[in-house]
Amino acid sequence: MAKKAVIIGINDYAPIGAGGPDLSGCIADARDMANTLVICGFSPSDIRILTNQNATKNNIITYIKWLLTGNKSGDSLVLYYSGHGTRVANIGTDLELDGLDEAICPHDYASAGVIRDDEFKSLFKGKVKKGVSFDVFFDCCHSGSGTRKMNLGGIDGMFINETPRFIPPMLEDEFYFNFSKSIESKSTATETAEGTTTTKSLNKIPEMNHILWAGCKDNQVSMEGDISGMTRGYFTYNLCKTLRATTGNITRELLNSQIANGLSAMGAAQINQTEGKSTKLQVKIFE
């Protein structure tokens, strides 16, 4: 049974060095995630890491293809991303607005473009064999107000110099985002086949071939800030802390709850969201 992982962390956005919408905690997050996976039984030789200028759109897609190649029942796969996220309009070939896509921002997103959730679905489709454990972790924003940095020091115990991991959308995307609630109203109040509404932080979605772990709900921002003298993503900090304490011997449902409790205890203004098949959520992670 193979265990493979791709870990992506981007502090430095193009151009290299000062000038891009840079972050501070994503490399530390990637390092912590890599070390945590080793504690949970992953071999260092089966973990691939992309950071900063190496984390281009082309390289990310290439590494994902490596991750999914040759998987078989019993294998455990992990895709982890720490960096900026955004939302973009999805315009169909008939020029009708089909909705809004969540997207991650590679190092070279300004020239190469973002990677949309539709692209991830295309990469995953038909590539994950039955019986394979596939966990996808995104510690980034899927929406937000467009504010890049906020100083919340001294307000109800919030951390100093918190930064949302969010890239403001372009005007054409921002326009649709402002009206997204009415555009997407047909789906936000519906229930899944397993009776769980899409507003829950633990969503049971029968057709998914992977488990999606998001650092925040789609109307929130994932934050990073100072934790014991080091800038860290709040979601990843709590994720790795729990995995290390249990050496991965924990069900996904319980892990989801422990992360939520940790975020609440530290006063983080975000709620993690986990989606996947109920049968996968009820068993131990990485199995």
Query: Where in 41-132 does DSSP place strands (E)?
Result: 47-51, 76-82, 85-91, 97-104, 115-116
The answer to whether residues 287 and 256 touch, using CB atoms and an 8 Å cutoff, is no
Sign, CA torsion 11/176/58/38: positive
**Exposed / middle / buried, residue 155 (Cβ in 10 Å: 0-12, 13-18, 19+):** exposed
Tell me 162's DSSP state: B
Residues with Cβ within 8 Å of 279's Cβ and at least 6 positions away in sequence, in order, are: none
The answer to whether residues 205 and 278 touch, using CB atoms and an 8 Å cutoff, is no
The runs of H, that is alpha helices, within 21-179 are 26-39, 57-68, 109-112, 117-124, 171-178
Number of other CB atoms surrounding residue 230 within 10 Å = 12
Catalytic, 216? Answer no
Sign, CA torsion 117/118/123/127: positive
Radius of gyration of the chain (CA): 18
Give the CA count within 13 Å in the CB-facing half-sphere of 9: 18
The single residue of 26, 40, 105, 141 carrying the catalytic annotation is 141
Catalytic, 141? Answer yes
The single residue of 26, 40, 84, 105 carrying the catalytic annotation is 84
Catalytic residues: 84, 141
